[in-house]
Amino acid sequence: MRTEWWQSGVIYQIYPRSFQDSNGDGIGDLDGITSRLSYFEELGIDAIWISPIFPSPMKDFGYDVSNYDDIDPIFGSMKDFDRLIKEAHARDIKVILDFVPNHSSDQHPWFQESKSSRENPKRDWYIWRDPKSDGSPPNNWISDFGGPAWTFDPTTNQYYSHAFLKEQPDLNWRNSHVRLEMYDSMRKWFNRGVDGFRLDVLWHVIKAQDFRDNPVNPDYKPHMGEMHKVLQLNSTDQPEAIEVAREMRALADRYDGRVLIGEIYLPFEKLVKYYGPKQDGVHMPFNFTLIDAEWKADTIFDLIARYEASLPPGAWPNWVLGNHDRPRIASRVGLAQARVAATLLLTLRGTPTMYYGDELGMEDGVIPLERVVDPREILDPGKGLGRDPVRTPMPWTPDGGFTEGEPWLPQHTDRNVEDEMQFDSSMLNMYKLLLALRRAHPALSLGSIALESAESNVLIYRREHGDEILRVALNFSDRDQTIAIPNADRMIFSTLLSAPETSGETVTLRANEAIIIEAD
Ligand code: NOJ
């Protein structure tokens, strides 16, 4: 079977506002990313996914798009973009863009037209419904950011739906003109050379045709955030969303080697439907389960087993430890376990997606109240749902090195690239080593996986490709654990970057240590 670059490769997510500023305005940009391409080469990743860079009023920092076919001046120009693509490709680095199909900005000319009158030809491009007889919203749907998913428009006396901010009206994907326009934009970016798309909230794109209420969530607790008051059964994950995925795939398949990744938060049995009935949906529906998993060997064993078992034949797996919406791995499990997590991510079967800064062990930043900018925090405050802490500027040097101006979010530099380059056992150097091993050993990138055990909080699995067999052992505990393992002396990697004690067929893993061993 021919393997594609996105199967053997590693994807690195860039939050562009925070990666590298080149013009001193305190916000990262495309030229900044281009200037750091050699960093990716040295690190050893294969593709960058850049969160949205299209023109936007930035109410949701780019996830509110007002023109799908251009670049926001804050990030640069189309010329800068073309240069980034050219220079990335010259280094054999692929570029994945972040496409936002479910909603546009309320400033998009389409919405401006749509809301201008009920008779406007674009009225049906968004989702408009009459109020209930008492004037209240058409149903009980709640926005993911809290509050009703409906906003009343007094000019035309109807409500429009928005799964997120009221400034992010939902597009009506049941309207064929909307589909054609969106596919046309994707085509334009493919023609410019982009290697794929991450598709924002793909499972949201179609809502139940009759707009019935969502069922009330019996397990709701206030700390979860308001959106969890109801179960989003009718506002998301309709069978027609998979049709949309298939149409996008048909478009991508007209080009060579392009990838579609769906952002979808659903349980496995629902998630895998987005591969399409004949493997003709998205190439990879994101698997986010490690983000919420209880950090214990037997839980993770079970999770891997269930995921692998749920994959339809031929479906390619993928794994994620964190992203721009969720607390960072180092803050969730601690710095020592973050090394174990990195080993897990880069040795499981399937494509890993790394989040910028995790390779340094970056932790959630501290954001003083007066610097909070994320609408998620502002609208549903005090529950720890805000995303500013995971979007702080990339620390390049002890002085920052991100911008010459005032960074848009506070810059933390206690861990930074320059320092970490210098000491051998840093998180960064450990990542480099793991990425190089993954590249050198097809067993790690393409091999089969066999789960072996999860005793004493140590997870062990085997990866196999051709006649190469590697065994991975991960100590999820903060205590030494002696385990029986064949060929214990043939270790090729330890997160502590020095060999643990072995004796015959046993090895004593140190607290929070993961190792890779050659086997036969
Ligand atoms: C998911 C994105 O990851 C998140 O950052 C954004 O706020 C919502 N979708 C809305 O587009």
For 141-161, the pLDDT digits (tens) are 999 999 999 999 999 999 999
pLDDT over 80 (residue 419): yes
The pTM is what?
A: 0.98
pLDDT one-digit tens code per residue, 39-60: 999 999 999 999 999 999 999 9
Identify the residue with better confidence: 505 or 133.
133
> Is 280 labeled as catalytic in the residue annotation?
no
The pLDDT of 403-413, averaged and rounded, is 97
C-alpha 81/C-alpha 75 separation (Å) is 9
Query: Quick check: 375 and 146 in contact, CB under 8 A?
Result: no
63 lines ligand 1 (CB under 6 A): yes
In Å, what is the CA distance from 221 to each residue of 140, 227, 333, 341?
Answer: 18, 11, 23, 29
Q: What pLDDT was estimated at residue 428?
A: 98
pLDDT one-digit tens code per residue, 166-206: 999 999 999 999 999 999 999 999 999 999 999 999 999 99
Q: What pLDDT was estimated at residue 485?
A: 92
Domains in the chain, please, with CATH? 5-104+175-207+236-436 (3.20.20.80), 109-161 (3.90.400.10), 447-519 (2.60.40.1180)
Strands of 119-258 (E only): list them.
128-129, 150-153, 158-161, 196-199
Q: b/e for 435-451, b at 16 or more Cβ within 10 A? A: bebbbebbbbbebebee
C-alpha 514/C-alpha 461 separation (Å) is 12
Query: Quick check: 225 and 380 in contact, CB under 8 A?
Result: yes
60 lines ligand 1 (CB under 6 A): yes
Task: State the distance from the centre of ligand 1 to the C-alpha of 224, rounded, in angstroms.
Answer: 17
Ligand 1 atom index nearest CA of 325: 5
Which run of H or E residues covers position 188? helix 176-192
Residue indicated by tokens 């085997």: 462
Task: State the distance from the centre of ligand 1 to the C-alpha of 149, rounded, in angstroms.
Answer: 15
> Is 263 labeled as catalytic in the residue annotation?
yes
For residue 185, how many other CB atoms are within 10 A of its CB?
18
C-alpha 20/C-alpha 357 separation (Å) is 12
Residue 211 corresponds to which tokens in the numbers above? 């707009």
C-alpha 14/C-alpha 75 separation (Å) is 13
pLDDT one-digit tens code per residue, 234-288: 999 999 999 999 999 999 999 999 999 999 999 999 999 999 999 999 999 999 9
Identify the residue with better confidence: 468 or 2.
468
40 lines ligand 1 (CB under 6 A): no
C-alpha 450/C-alpha 460 separation (Å) is 9
Specify the residue with its C-alpha closest to ligand 1, atom 5: 325
201 lines ligand 1 (CB under 6 A): yes
Q: Pocket of ligand 1, candidates 198, 201, 373, 391: which has the most ligand atoms within 8 Å of its Cβ, to mutate?
A: 201
261 lines ligand 1 (CB under 6 A): no
Ligand 1 atom index nearest CA of 323: 3
C-alpha 171/C-alpha 178 separation (Å) is 7
Task: State the distance from the centre of ligand 1 to the C-alpha of 200, rounded, in angstroms.
Answer: 7
**47-50 β-sheet, strand order:** 284-285, 259-262, 196-199, 94-99, 47-50, 11-14, 351-355, 318-320
Dihedral angle at the C-alpha atoms of 317, 319, 324, 326, nearest 10 degrees? Answer: 120
Q: Which contacts of 37-40 are long-range, i.e. CB under 8 A and separated by 24 or more positions?
A: 37/87, 37/88, 37/91, 37/93, 38/91, 39/417, 40/12, 40/91, 40/93
C-alpha 392/C-alpha 374 separation (Å) is 12
C-alpha 111/C-alpha 125 separation (Å) is 8
pLDDT over 70 percentage in the chain: 100
What average pLDDT does the chain have? Answer: 97
Q: b/e for 345-381, b at 16 or more Cβ within 10 A? A: bbbbbbbbbbbbbbbbbbbbbebeeeebebbbbebbe
Helices (H) then strands (E): counts for the chain: 16, 19
Query: Quick check: 429 and 423 in contact, CB under 8 A?
Result: yes
The percent of the chain in helix, strand and coil, each rounded to the nearest 5, is 30, 20, 50
368: DSSP letter? -
Ligand 1 atom index nearest CA of 64: 11
Confidence of residue 520 (pLDDT cuts 50, 70, 90): confident
Instruction: Write the CB contacts of 463 (distance below 8 Å, at least 6 apart in sequence).
Output: 347, 349, 443, 444, 447, 448, 449, 469, 470, 471, 472
Q: What pLDDT was estimated at residue 500?
A: 85
Ligand 1 atom index nearest CA of 103: 11
pLDDT over 80 (residue 212): yes
Amino acid letter for position 485: I
Task: State the distance from the centre of ligand 1 to the C-alpha of 61, rounded, in angstroms.
Answer: 9
Ligand 1 atom index nearest CA of 145: 7
For residue 341, how many other CB atoms are within 10 A of its CB?
24
Residue 245 corresponds to which tokens in the numbers above? 């995925």
CA diameter of the chain: 80
C-alpha 233/C-alpha 142 separation (Å) is 12
Residue indicated by tokens 């780019």: 62
Q: What pLDDT was estimated at residue 171?
A: 99
pLDDT over 90 percentage in the chain: 95
In Å, what is the CA distance from 76 to each residue of 23, 31, 447?
Answer: 10, 7, 41
C-alpha 263/C-alpha 204 separation (Å) is 10
User: At 447, is the secondary structure helix, strand, or coil?
Assistant: coil
In Å, what is the CA distance from 404 to each residue of 22, 28, 362?
Answer: 8, 11, 21
Question: Which of the residues 29, 60, 167, 200 is marked catalytic?
Answer: 200
Q: At what angle do helices 176-192 and 78-90 cross, to 10 degrees?
A: 60
170 lines ligand 1 (CB under 6 A): no
pLDDT one-digit tens code per residue, 313-368: 999 999 999 999 999 999 999 999 999 999 999 999 999 999 999 999 999 999 99
Query: Quick check: 402 and 411 in contact, CB under 8 A?
Result: yes
164 lines ligand 1 (CB under 6 A): yes
C-alpha 462/C-alpha 449 separation (Å) is 6
Q: What pLDDT was estimated at residue 226?
A: 93
pLDDT one-digit tens code per residue, 445-480: 999 999 999 999 999 999 999 999 999 999 999 999
Q: Pocket of ligand 1, candidates 60, 64, 288, 320: which has the most ligand atoms within 8 Å of its Cβ, to mutate?
A: 60
pLDDT over 90 (residue 164): yes
Q: Pocket of ligand 1, candidates 63, 165, 198: which has the most ligand atoms within 8 Å of its Cβ, to mutate?
A: 63
pLDDT over 70 (residue 73): yes
Task: State the distance from the centre of ligand 1 to the C-alpha of 322, rounded, in angstroms.
Answer: 14
First to last CA, the chain: 24
Question: Which of the residues 195, 226, 263, 374 is marked catalytic?
Answer: 263
pLDDT over 70 (residue 1): no
C-alpha 497/C-alpha 520 separation (Å) is 23
Task: State the distance from the centre of ligand 1 to the C-alpha of 96, rounded, in angstroms.
Answer: 16
Specify the residue with its C-alpha closest to ligand 1, atom 8: 63
325 lines ligand 1 (CB under 6 A): yes
